[in-house]
Amino acid sequence: MRIFLTMIFFLLIFSCSKQEVKSNHTANNNATDSTQKKKFTITTNQQKVLDGAKKCLEAKFSYDMTMGYYVCTYKDGENTGSRVFPGGDVAPDMGVWTDVIVRALRWGGVCDLQEEVYNDLKSSWGDYPMSRWQAKKPDPNIDQRRVPVLMVWFAKYWQEISAEDYQPGDVVAWDMNGDGWGDHIGIVSDKFSDPTPTLPEGEGGSRLMLIHNFPDPGYVAEEDVLYEWEIIGHYRVK
């Protein structure tokens, strides 16, 4: 009987010890996961922006070299033959850099920039640099397709980020010509330029890539160009 009880005792000790080891191992895994998630965790709205941007990447619509003025007659990819508002778009097989932003936010379920920008222009015309285009009233065909206009809207309704704290889903604007005006815009991806970085981000090592539409290569692409031009705007959805 004593031998039997002794065996039960040691079995209980062994079982408890094994359980403690298992618990510690789980805690370490959680700590590792927490560290990894802290680097890559983004909010639901940031994920929506990123998802919309990736849909633009999949659509791979071409860059419109004419950068022309178009009536937004398209809705959900179909040409209605007349202007559509809200929810209007240009031909789905083409666009410029701003169309990545408009479509990403729409396709990601964040907001309709055509409607948002139009309404804000109606109520706060003086906040926007509309004299640059000699505009006299809001135009839902083109206003949301202008980088300086989008920069004002994002500064008003999103978080304006001054630090180099880039996260997937962030919208970034550049001054490529050095004239102080925003003339390019894109969305930060969740992919890095180097999957196995050896240097800190932005210091010659791995950098978050950008989803944008640009004359070269001529369609929506994911490229390592975040630091290619002077950054003058950095925004994050709330």
pLDDT score of 51: 98
Q: Average pLDDT of 197-212?
A: 68
The per-residue pLDDT of the chain, averaged, comes to 84
43-79 pLDDT, tens digit each: 999 999 999 999 999 999 999 999 999 999 999 999 9
pLDDT score of 39: 59
Give the residue from 142, 232, 121, 133 showing the smallest Cα distance to 185: 232
Cβ atoms of 234 and 160 closer than 8 Å: yes
pLDDT score of 193: 85
| Calpha distance 113→101 (Å, rounded) | 9
pLDDT score of 126: 98
Q: Average pLDDT of 198-212?
A: 69
The model carries a pTM of 0.80
| Calpha distance 23→161 (Å, rounded) | 40
pLDDT score of 196: 55
Least confident of 9-18, 92-101, 161-170: 9-18
- pLDDT > 60? residue 138: yes
